[in-house]
Amino acid sequence: MAEIRHMTSTQFRRAKRLIRRLCANYSGGYCLLLEENFEPCPCPQLLTYSLLCKYFRAAVLPADAELHREIMGNSQHKRCAVCGRPFYAKSNRALYCDRCADLERRRKTRDRVRRHRGSA
């Protein structure tokens, strides 16, 4: 039997947004898969911090890769060299989170161009 995973409150809020936006079985707070004799049944994933719904786990959660890694624990996280925030690296050479990577690339380009202009 699969291990039941639990979410933090922040993860739970993100999961609820995903369900409301992407879940094919979600309809106005009710789960279409659990409907019995045309009586609506509330979506169990919206009611608990536990990761219960197999459809959510297999089809909806992978849409948010970062949340999927946080909840399922698929990979190790690194700390950003600039801001110190934890992030999930796409490669083993990654040093910066997505937010800082672009800023750091621009800073290095700026410094390189300044050095080049100073030597000419």
**CA contacts within 13 A on the Cβ side of 57:** 15
**Cα–Cα distance measured from residue 96 to residue 3, given in angstroms and rounded to the nearest whole number:** 32
* Contact of 52 with 45, CB cutoff 8 Å: yes
Cα four-point dihedral sign 37, 43, 49, 50: positive
- Cβ-contact 58, 34 below 8 angstroms: no
With 0-12 / 13-18 / 19 or more C-beta atoms within 10 angstroms meaning exposed / middle / buried, residue 51 is buried
Tell me the whole-structure pTM to 2 decimals.
0.57
Q: What is the pLDDT of residue 1?
A: 44
CA terminus-to-terminus distance, the chain: 68
Q: What is the pLDDT of residues 24-66, one digit of tens each?
A: 888 888 888 887 777 888 888 888 888 888 888 888 988 988 8
